Amino acid sequence: MTVKELVDLFNLEIVAGPNLEKEIDGVYIGDLLSNVMARAEKDNLWLTVQGHQNVVAVALLVELSAVILVEDFEYEENSVQRACQKGVNLLKTKKKSYDLACKFCESEI
């Protein structure tokens, strides 16, 4: 599934979408970036509440398919700018990580 298909299927909001044709492979959930850097895998979706600009750097480093900010948290302004420059997809939702993850699970993501 591509990020674009995911956005349509789960009604996610696109905050920065420079690379929506990217393929998704698996999901990682966490808010400690040190841990995400160590544990998340290439092409994962990443569910978090952190909107700091370092999120973009971590997504780039681990080559994640998209970041999904949950619970209606907001990205910092410079995160959005940077994501557009660097080709990182930033999405958001009002849902909680668990609820969204359950939905992903039903769709076998």
Partner 1 sequence: MIKLKADLHLHSVLSPCGDLLMTPAEIIKKAKKEKIDVLALTDHNSAENVEVLQYYAEQYNLKIIPAMEAETKEEIHILCYFPDMKSLLNWQEIIYNNLSDQENDEDFFGAQIKCGYDDEYQSKIKYLLAASVNLSLEKVVEKVKELGGIAVPSHLDRKHSIISQLGFIPPELSFITVEISKNTEPKSFLRQFPNFNKFQFMQNSDSHYLKEIKAYQNLIVEKFSFSEFKKAVEKKDGRKIELIKT
Q: Which residues bind partner 1 (CB under 8 A)?
A: 32-34, 36-37, 50, 52-54, 57-58, 76
**What is the C-alpha separation between 107 and 74, in angstroms, rounded?**
26
| Cβ nearer to partner 1, comparing 1 with 76 | 76
Contact 47, 27 (CB under 8 A): yes
| Cβ nearer to partner 1, comparing 32 with 105 | 32
Tokens of 97: 């990580």
**Smallest distance, partner 1 to C-beta of residue 102, A:** 26
Taking CA atoms, 104 is separated from 53, 59, 80, 87, 98, in Å, by 26, 20, 25, 24, 10
User: To which residue do tokens 């359950």 refer?
Assistant: 102
**Smallest distance, partner 1 to C-beta of residue 50, A:** 6
| Cβ nearer to partner 1, comparing 50 with 89 | 50
What residues have CB less than 8 Å from 98, skipping those under 6 apart?
A: none
**Smallest distance, partner 1 to C-beta of residue 27, A:** 19
**Smallest distance, partner 1 to C-beta of residue 23, A:** 25
| Cβ nearer to partner 1, comparing 6 with 69 | 69
